[in-house]
Amino acid sequence: MGAISSIVQSPVAAEKPAVSQASDAAKEKKLRKACADFEALLVFQLLKTMRQSVPRNGFLKPSQGQETYEMMLDQKIAEDLAGKGGGLGLQKMLYNQMMERNPKKD
């Protein structure tokens, strides 16, 4: 009876680590995405502040459409900067710090 119970329990025991590893991989992917999104948000705020510091004088008044376009452009630039080659480095630092605070449980 002992041999039968070990055979029956072994497939279940073997599946649990695989599920745990898949779960850990999914959590790491989510954490990396969150770190990249945070960096993109920070870069967007930097670009937005930069645009506000430039004086607006010229022949034409800026329209609502131009302001919307500039905002969308800043968002796209921020996403591209954060998404290519590890971004500016902030997302890597955030990821490493989060992993140090929450180490994997073996």
The DSSP secondary structure of the chain, one letter per residue, reads -HHHHHHHHHHHHHHHHHHHHHHHHHHHHHHHHHHHHHHHHHHHHHHHHHHHHS---SSSPPPHHHHHHHHHHHHHHHHHHHHSTTTTSHHHHHHHHHHHHSPPP-
Which pTM value belongs to this model? 0.69
Comparison of pLDDT for 80 and 13, the residue scoring more: 80
Average pLDDT of span 58-73: 84
Amino acid 2: pLDDT: 53
What residue spans define the domains of the chain?
2-101
Amino acid 30: pLDDT: 93
Amino acid 4: pLDDT: 45
